[in-house]
Amino acid sequence: MGTVVAITPSGRFTVRAAGSTPAPEGTSVVDRSGTVRGRVLRVFGPVARPYLSVRPRRTPAPAEAVGLLGQPLLRE
């Protein structure tokens, strides 16, 4: 689906889509281990490679958030 490029102050993940066909809003996302991380709230940015705003199931701790940066998220 895409790569985590930022964690907002409110704890949401900003994900850069891997291609021009992003996951639709409401799609559940998981990390590589299969843990559900959250749902896509919004798709925004350039059509060729948009960004996704993902609301996490729970706000990550600072150390966990840093570990997520650069990691891929996948559709459930």
Would you say 54 and 40 are in contact if contact means Cβ atoms under 8 Å apart? yes
pLDDT one-digit tens code per residue, 32-46: 999 999 999 999 999
pLDDT one-digit tens code per residue, 18-73: 988 899 999 999 999 999 999 999 999 999 999 999 999 988 888 988 999 999 99
Full-model pTM: 0.90
CA 62/CA 45 separation, integer angstroms: 26
CA 16/CA 44 separation, integer angstroms: 10
Number of domains observed in the structure of the chain: 1
15 Cβ contact partners less than 8 Å away, ≥ 6 residues apart:
1, 2, 3, 4, 5, 29, 51, 52, 53, 54, 73
pLDDT > 90? residue 76: no
> Which CATH number covers residue 15?
2.40.10.230
The domain containing residue 56 runs over which residues?
Answer: 2-75
Q: What is the pLDDT of residue 60?
A: 87
Q: Would you call 63 helix, strand, or coil by DSSP?
A: helix
